[in-house]
Amino acid sequence: MRIVSSSSRLFTIFVPVVLLSTFITYGLGALSNSNPAAAVLGDTATPADIKRMDHQFGLDKPFLVQFVHWLGRVLHGDLGHSYFTGIPVTQSIGQRFPVDLSLTLLALVFAVILGGAAGVLAAVRQGSWIDRGITAISAVFTSVPAFVIGVGLVVVFATKLHVAPSSGYVGPTTDPQRWLQHMLLPAIAISLEPAVGVARQLRTALVHELRQNYVTGAVVRGLHPSRVLFGHALRNAAGPALTVLGAQVPFLIGGAVVTETVFSLPGLGQLAVSSAEQRDIPVVQGVLLVTSVIVILANLVVNAGLGKLRPRAGAVTA
Amino acid sequence: MRSGVLRRVLRIRSAQIALVILLGIAVLVVFGSSIAPQDPLHQDVARLLQGPSGAHWLGTDYLGRDVLSRLVAGSRLSVLTAVEAVAAALVVGALPGLASVFFGRWFDFIANRLTDAIMTLPTLVFAIAFTAVLGNRMTPVMLAVGFLISPYFFRVTRAAALQYAQEPYVDAARLFGVSRVRVVGTHVVGKVLPTVLVTAATALAGALLTVSSLTFLGIGVVPPAPTWGGVLSSDLNFLSQLPWAPLAPAALIMLTAGSLNILADALRDTIGTSGPPVVRAGAITDQEVDRVDEHPAA
């Protein structure tokens, strides 16, 4: 084990992550064989037109120069314009971002509640039918993609029971209650996979903690069992579960992207798919960048949370 | 030794069931459209959105195409592209994972930082973006996905290789002047292999879900080519008429991914790798573990 201060950890892990993801994101555009100028101008384009368009898009400069220019503009909040509609990418993303942000946050809340409850129950009743049941259900949900769960929820709760809308979106600021109605099913659909991760990790960690001497000590001193569980053991066991939750964020966003389609939510996923089909590279790059930044930020938050939870965990890396 | 591990895995009931299911899937993959009962592309406008019948065991879709035939014919693309992704990940991840143990601190440091970076990328969003760049074909996209999941192989291989690289006989071989590459090849690779297999099975299940998600979105395939995810999405607008329609494709995806996960768990329990701390996922019961332990490998 090596002691690394949090600032150098930030530097050795997050700076390369940001650089690499931006580089891949930008490199994707350069890799594409498609000639955006020709695509935009259509059949009637002359070579001179294409050259002028290339210059306008900045495609006539060396790759690294283009990358640095692009990164500079991105840092100023400029993600370029769509090749086809000319709409600024930040505007398109800004319109759709609240959908995915609210969906992902709600799913995270569900994952913590469902996964936390299942993990604690399984650990406390270790070996019982509750434990076996939770373990079996967890195994099933790791093999089901979020969109399949989404389709199942639509069939049961929207088309059969009519208790929730099957599609559409209402902004949380417009009408919070209707927002929740529309978000409930998709959020549950994508929360189950991370919930399973949290439950499994929490069960393992909690079983380990409950065997420790300090727990026996606390019980012997006459502390209430729930206080021993929630005040002592859970606090120590929550760290690994939180790490797992952080690692699940990329999958959560992936799940959100596909599940959007099931529920016809006007989110980033729809934007990514339609712009990928059109080869609208600036829009694709913008979506990639925004989702990657969310994942990186989520990891930073998880790290900060780990530091708060267990002061020594924040300073030590394996 | 390795055949002993396999024999012990085969004694576990859940692993037996998983293997039988996977063999069935393999038959679908190998023979594909040639064993499909009907032409998966044939449209029968007189029989749209029908329920299961003698002529169409799983009914028909919104164009009157036979769902069973579409699922059978779609198996090859759905499964093989997932295999491609895992094969790519294995090469890109496992080899540097082995190398990182033997080629010094700098290689190790850089490789670790790189894998940290790759692991934070949202795979599915990247996969969608890859189709914008590499064209709307599954194979190049899944090779790129393989690159994104390669860190898992890197980490697992590195951890396992680190463990075995510190064995006295490896030191002894080095002292005798055996080259690094030969030490790795003869003493470490074989030991690391079962661990890599566990990761491969888990990764294959994950890749399968990625393929299903992409084909569900209509990405990577050109209609009317059938895929598991595509069959699921084609019925989406007709759920009020055919609420049971998603069941068959969903079951196929779940059975395949689930069997792979169960097999991975059984393998992990049998070889007792330290791997990521995962609950046994109901793969085998304690009783079965005891039974396995009573019969050590012959």
Point out the residue among B120, B131, B280 whose CB comes nearest to the CB of A276. B131
Average pLDDT over residues A40-53: 73
Last residue of a domain, one of A49, A75, A101: A75
Strand partners, B66: B60
Average pLDDT over residues A7-28: 73
User: How distant is the Cα of B54 from the closest Cα of chain A, in angstroms?
Assistant: 25
Q: Is residue A84 included in any domain, yes or no?
A: no
How many beta-carbon pairs under 8 angstroms link A with B?
A: 178
Q: Is residue B81 included in any domain, yes or no?
A: yes
The answer on pLDDT for B13 being more than 80 is yes
Distance CA B117, CA A292 (A): 10
Distance CA A14, CA A248 (A): 17
**Spatial CA neighbour of A282 closest among A43, A21, A26, A3:** A26
What pLDDT, on a 0 to 100 scale, did the predictor assign at position A62?
78
Same domain, A130 and A221: yes
Confidence class for position B22, pLDDT limits 50, 70, 90: very high
Same domain, A70 and A146: no
User: How distant is the Cα of A222 from the closest Cα of chain B, in angstroms?
Assistant: 31
Average pLDDT over residues A27-55: 70
Top pLDDT among B40 and B1 is at B40
pLDDT in tens, A245-278: 887 888 888 888 888 888 888 889 889 888 888 8
CB B133 within 8 A of CB A32: yes
Same domain, A122 and A186: yes
What pLDDT, on a 0 to 100 scale, did the predictor assign at position A310?
61
User: How distant is the Cα of B186 from the closest Cα of chain A, in angstroms?
Assistant: 29
Percent of chain B with pLDDT over 90: 14
Confidence class for position B295, pLDDT limits 50, 70, 90: very low
**Spatial CA neighbour of A287 closest among A136, A154, A94:** A94
Same domain, A110 and A56: no
Confidence class for position B286, pLDDT limits 50, 70, 90: very low
Q: Is residue B135 included in any domain, yes or no?
A: yes
The answer on pLDDT for A137 being more than 70 is yes
Determine the distance from the C-alpha atom of residue A211 to the mean position of all C-alpha atoms in its chain, rounded to a whole number: 34
**Spatial CA neighbour of A59 closest among A87, A89, A29:** A29
pTM of the model: 0.80
Top pLDDT among A21 and A147 is at A147
What pLDDT, on a 0 to 100 scale, did the predictor assign at position A128?
84
Point out the residue among A135, A143, A296 whose CB comes nearest to the CB of B279. A135
Considering only alpha carbons, which residue of chain A is nearest residue B212? A145
Q: Is residue B7 included in any domain, yes or no?
A: yes
Last residue of a domain, one of A75, A100, A132: A75
CB-based contact, B78 to chain A, within 8 Å: no
Same domain, A49 and A106: no
CA angle A92, A93, A99 (to 5 degrees): 115
Task: Kindly determine whether residue A287 and residue B125, on different chains, have CB atoms separated by under 8 Å.
Answer: yes
Q: Is residue A225 included in any domain, yes or no?
A: yes
What pLDDT, on a 0 to 100 scale, did the predictor assign at position A3?
42
Residues of A in contact with B261 (CB under 8 A): 139, 142-143
CATH number of the domain that residue A290 is part of:
1.10.3720.10
Range of the domain at B11: 2-35+74-294
Confidence class for position B115, pLDDT limits 50, 70, 90: confident
Determine the distance from the C-alpha atom of residue B33 to the mean position of all C-alpha atoms in its chain, rounded to a whole number: 22
What pLDDT, on a 0 to 100 scale, did the predictor assign at position B131?
83
pLDDT in tens, B211-253: 888 888 888 787 788 888 888 888 777 777 777 888 888 889 9
What pLDDT, on a 0 to 100 scale, did the predictor assign at position B287?
32
Top pLDDT among A59 and A219 is at A219
Percent of chain B with pLDDT over 70: 90
* Arithmetic mean of pLDDT over chain B: 80
Task: Kindly determine whether residue A273 and residue B217, on different chains, have CB atoms separated by under 8 Å.
Answer: yes
Confidence class for position A57, pLDDT limits 50, 70, 90: low
The answer on pLDDT for A203 being more than 70 is yes
Same domain, A62 and A174: no
What pLDDT, on a 0 to 100 scale, did the predictor assign at position A32?
65
Q: Tell me how many domains chain A contains.
A: 2
Q: Is residue A6 included in any domain, yes or no?
A: yes
Considering only alpha carbons, which residue of chain A is nearest residue B251? A144
CATH number of the domain that residue B115 is part of:
1.10.3720.10
Same domain, A122 and A63: no
Q: Is residue B26 included in any domain, yes or no?
A: yes
The answer on pLDDT for B294 being more than 60 is no
Average pLDDT over residues B105-114: 83
Q: Is residue B47 included in any domain, yes or no?
A: no
User: How distant is the Cα of B209 from the closest Cα of chain A, in angstroms?
Assistant: 6
What pLDDT, on a 0 to 100 scale, did the predictor assign at position A6?
56
Distance CA A218, CA A206 (A): 15
Same domain, A68 and A98: no
Whether complex ipTM tops 0.90: no
Same domain, A99 and A54: no
For the ranges A230-234, B24-28, B178-182, B268-272, the maximum mean pLDDT occurs at B24-28
Question: HEC states along chain A?
Answer: CEECCHHHHHHHHHHHHHHHHHHHHHHHHHHCCCCHHHHHHCCCCCHHHHHHHHHHHCCCCCHHHHHHHHHHHHHCCCCCECCCCCCEHHHHHHHHHHHHHHHHHHHHHHHHHHHHHHHHHHHHCCCCHHHHHHHHHHHHHHCCCHHHHHHHHHHHHHHHCCCCCCCCCCCCCCCHHHHHHHHHHHHHHHHHHHHHHHHHHHHHHHHHHHCCHHHHHHHHCCCCHHHHHHHHHHHHHHHHHHHHHHHHHHHHHHHHHHHHHHHCCCCHHHHHHHHHHHCCHHHHHHHHHHHHHHHHHHHHHHHHHHHHHCHHHHHEEC
Task: Kindly determine whether residue B116 and residue A16, on different chains, have CB atoms separated by under 8 Å.
Answer: yes
Q: Is residue B129 included in any domain, yes or no?
A: yes
Residues of A in contact with B280 (CB under 8 A): 135
The answer on pLDDT for A162 being more than 90 is no
Same domain, A101 and A225: yes
Task: Kindly determine whether residue B282 and residue A275, on different chains, have CB atoms separated by under 8 Å.
Answer: no
Which of residues 16 through 35 in chain B touch A, CB cutoff 8 A?
none
Which of the residues A9, A100, A147, A208 would you substitute to probe the B interface, choosing the one with the greatest number of B C-beta atoms within 10 Å?
A: A147
Per the structure block, which two tokens stand in for A106? 């709600």
Q: Is residue A200 included in any domain, yes or no?
A: yes
Average pLDDT over residues B52-72: 83
Residues of A in contact with B240 (CB under 8 A): 159
The answer on pLDDT for B4 being more than 50 is yes
Q: Is residue A81 included in any domain, yes or no?
A: no
Strand partners, A2: A317
Same domain, A40 and A145: no
* Arithmetic mean of pLDDT over chain A: 81
What pLDDT, on a 0 to 100 scale, did the predictor assign at position A33?
56
Q: Is residue A59 included in any domain, yes or no?
A: yes
Q: Is residue B52 included in any domain, yes or no?
A: no
Range of the domain at A25: 2-75
CB-based contact, B217 to chain A, within 8 Å: yes
Top pLDDT among A194 and A170 is at A194
Which of the residues B17, B125, B130, B204 would you substitute to probe the A interface, choosing the one with the greatest number of A C-beta atoms within 10 Å?
A: B125
Q: Is residue B207 included in any domain, yes or no?
A: yes
Considering only alpha carbons, which residue of chain A is nearest residue B258? A143
The answer on pLDDT for B21 being more than 90 is yes
From residue B66, how far is each of B62, B71, B215 by CA, in Å? 10, 9, 18
How large is the angle between the packed helices B123-134 and B189-216, nearest 10 degrees? 70
Per the structure block, which two tokens stand in for A224? 């209430």
Confidence class for position B285, pLDDT limits 50, 70, 90: very low
Same domain, A31 and A171: no
Point out the residue among A29, A144, A159 whose CB comes nearest to the CB of B240. A159
Q: Tell me how many domains chain B contains.
A: 1
Confidence class for position A113, pLDDT limits 50, 70, 90: very high
Task: Kindly determine whether residue B120 and residue A21, on different chains, have CB atoms separated by under 8 Å.
Answer: yes
CB A268 within 8 A of CB A257: yes
Place of tokens 């959560």: A252
Top pLDDT among B18 and B184 is at B18
